[in-house]
Amino acid sequence: MTAWRIPTFDDVKAARKRIEGIAHVTPVLTSRTADAQVGAQLFFKAENLQRGGAFKFRGAYNSIAALDASTRAGGVVAFSSGNHAQALAYAAKLLNIHSTIVMPNDAPDMKVAATKGYGADVVFYDRYTEDREAISRRVAVARGATLIPPYDYPDVIAGQGTAVLELFESVGELDLLVTPLGGGGLLSGSALAARALSPGCKVIGVEPEAGNDGQQSLDKGEIVRIPVPKSIADGALVTHVGEHNFPIMQANVDDIVTVSDAQLVATMRFFAERMKIIVEPTGCLAAAAILHGVIACSGRRVGIVLSGGNVDLATFAALIGER
């Protein structure tokens, strides 16, 4: 385990060196239709086109690559049924080490198969009666492996910050940067990059309406815990932001707003129809807030992170089919 410390922009730069030539430098997309709709200049960082289909590959790969050789040889453990687990399994495979993923026994078959396909060992637990973090810690100790949490971990935060580092390098300074917010790995890493590379840029996180724990936390000045929220944004269903993430957010994030599931669906449809890309519900959080006027941005240069594209086609079709 890395010692408890708050990462800085230097860590983001170190992460970029580690992932260079391995993670994709994803494209920055633009849309005249979207620009005209909101009267601003929008730059979409397309992490739905990242390896593994989400920005999580950046933090996962960076975290393994940063371990010293003997620690790394013990392998890694993650708890998640989502993009972090798949990213970690994929990164472990590329770095030739063993991975164990602790997943709920009702995880979708497709996700289990994809994770096993990357060579990971899958350990199941009952999400209603068992504590996944406790199980993961036990597995890590028993196997001499390192637990890599999905967001509350310095090298994960630093790795996630590399997407926005690339965005500023390709488009220059911005007035506004908007990212999805779950546990805060993406938002806090992005905020570090924004502060360093575009000091005047406002940074805003977007949560699902049903789970605005991050917004409540910034308002209250301490981490607020909520019951597990219900939303189609399955990558942002956390009960609280991370302890490493929150101080970075307090220092560098200007605001947190929320969007509804209906706004996420309309945004998924917009991307499919107009920009010909598949963005998963959670990946639409930031764009939904801009395209629906939740964040005023008229006349501004705005960076928007499309965080992922992992949604099975049947779910995607069912969601965008509803009118």
Ligand X SMILES: *Cc1c(COP(=O)(O)O)cnc(C)c1O
Catalytic residues: 56, 81, 207, 211, 213, 307
User: What's the min distance (Å) between Cβ of 46 and ligand X?
Assistant: 12
> Of the two residues 150 and 154, which places its CB atom closer to ligand X in the complex?
150
Can you say how many angstroms the Cα of residue 248 is from the centroid of all Cα atoms in its chain? Answer: 16
User: What's the min distance (Å) between Cβ of 281 and ligand X?
Assistant: 9
- Could you tell me where the beta strands, DSSP code E, fall in the chain? 28-29, 41-46, 76-79, 99-104, 121-125, 146-147, 176-180, 202-208, 255-259, 301-306
Question: Which pair of tokens denotes residue 68?
Answer: 């010293």
Using CA atoms, how far apart are residues 18 and 274, in angstroms rounded to an integer? 35
Positions in the binding site for ligand X (CB under 6 A): 54, 56, 82-83, 150-151, 160, 180-187, 235-236, 280, 282-283, 307-308
Query: Is 118 in a helix, a strand, or coil?
Result: coil
> Of the two residues 200 and 227, which places its CB atom closer to ligand X in the complex?
227
> Of the two residues 34 and 305, which places its CB atom closer to ligand X in the complex?
305
> Of the two residues 32 and 157, which places its CB atom closer to ligand X in the complex?
157
User: What's the min distance (Å) between Cβ of 6 and ligand X?
Assistant: 15
Residues ≥6 apart with Cβ < 8 Å to 135: 79, 102, 123, 125
User: What's the min distance (Å) between Cβ of 307 and ligand X?
Assistant: 3
Question: Which pair of tokens denotes residue 263?
Answer: 């706004």
Q: What angle do CA 55, 83, 73 make, to 5 degrees?
A: 90
Taking each continuous run of H as one helix and of E as one strand, the counts in the chain are: 14, 10
Residues ≥6 apart with Cβ < 8 Å to 238: 151, 182, 183, 211, 213
User: What's the min distance (Å) between Cβ of 68 and ligand X?
Assistant: 25
Using CA atoms, how far apart are residues 196 and 161, in angstroms rounded to an integer? 11
User: What's the min distance (Å) between Cβ of 184 and ligand X?
Assistant: 5
Cβ atoms of residues 46 and 31 within 8 Å = no
Residues ≥6 apart with Cβ < 8 Å to 70: none
> Of the two residues 92 and 163, which places its CB atom closer to ligand X in the complex?
163
